[in-house]
Structure 1
C-alpha cells in the first residue's frame, strides 16, 4: 500500500474504535480488530488480493450492522460510503468496499450470500472465523444475553431458515444458533487458509456442545 492508503487505514481504524468501543453484544471494536487481523492474515496468502480494499472492508463492515438498526441492511454500506467519500478515493474502490459490506452477512441456513471478489471472500471468511471457535462461543452467549434470549430449551428445535427475514426475526434460544449458523460456517469458507483455521475451531464447538449437554443432564 501507499503511504496515503496506510494513513487512511489508520484513520479509519481510529474512527471505528471510537464508534464501537464498549459495545456489549460481541460486535464491539475488538471484534473488528480480530476480523481485521484475520483478514490481513488470509490476504497475505492470497497474492492477487487488494490489501487496501480488504482492510477498509474489514474495518468498516459492522459500523451499521442491521441487527442494531431494525434489520435495515442499507445502514452499514451508507455509513461506510459517507466515511470513505471524505477521501480522494475512486468511485470504483468505494463501491467495492460498500458491496462487500452489503453482501457480508450470513442470511440463513437455506440462503446463500455470494461474494464476487477475492477481497470480499477474504473479509467474509475473516468475519465468519470470529463467529466460531472459543471466541465465537463467547460472542454467541454475549449476544444472546444482550437480546434477553433463553440459554437453551430442549423443546425448541433449531430451524434452518430459508430467508433472511426469517433468520433476522428468530428469537430462538442461544444454543439453537450453533445449528442455525455456527456449525454451518466451516463448509462456507472460501479460502484455503480460512478452511484450515475453521476446521479446528469447528471441532472446538462440537466438543463444547457435547460437554454442554452432558452437564445439562447432570452427567458430568
Structure 2
C-alpha cells in the first residue's frame, strides 16, 4: 500500500497549525502583558518612592519646626519666670523683707534672658512664616510692643543689676525711680502674647504630624 506522504503532511499541518499559531500568539500576548505589568510595577514603585520621600521630607520639616518652636517656648517661659522674680524681689524689698542683692541678681538674670529672646526673633519669625504665614501680622504686632516695653525694661534692669543700691530711704528712692511697675506689667503681657502664639503654632504642627 502506497502512502501519500504529501497528503499526510498536509492533513497533519491543517490539524496542528491552529494549535501552533494559538500557542505562539498566547506566548507573544503573555510576553507583552508581562512587559506592560513590569512597566506599570516600575512606575508604581517610582511613584511610591517619590511619595515616601515627600512624606519623609515633610516629617523632617515638621519635626524641625516642632523642636525649634519648643525651644522658643522655653525661652519665653523662662523670661516670664524671671520677670515675675524681679517683681517679687522688688515687692519684698519695699516691704522690708527682701534684699537689694536679690534685686541685682534677678535683674541680671532677666537682662540675660531678654537678650536671648531678642536674639531669637529672626529665626522665630521664619518659623511663623513656615508654619502659618497668616500669623506673621500678629507676630509683628506683638514684636513691636515687646520691643517697645523691652527697651524700657532693659534700661531699668541694667541700672538695678549694675548700680549699687544704697541702704535705707536712699536705696528705696533709687529702686522706685528706676522701676516702673506698669512697664513691667506690659512687658510681661507681651511676653505672654508671644508665648501663646508659639504654643498655637506648636499645636498646628502637632496636628500636621497626625
TM-score using structure 2 length: 0.28
Q: Comparing both chains, which one has the higher relative contact order based on Cα–Cα distances under 8 Å and sequence gaps of 6 or more? A: 2
TM-score using structure 1 length: 0.27
The structure where helix makes up a greater share of residues is: 2
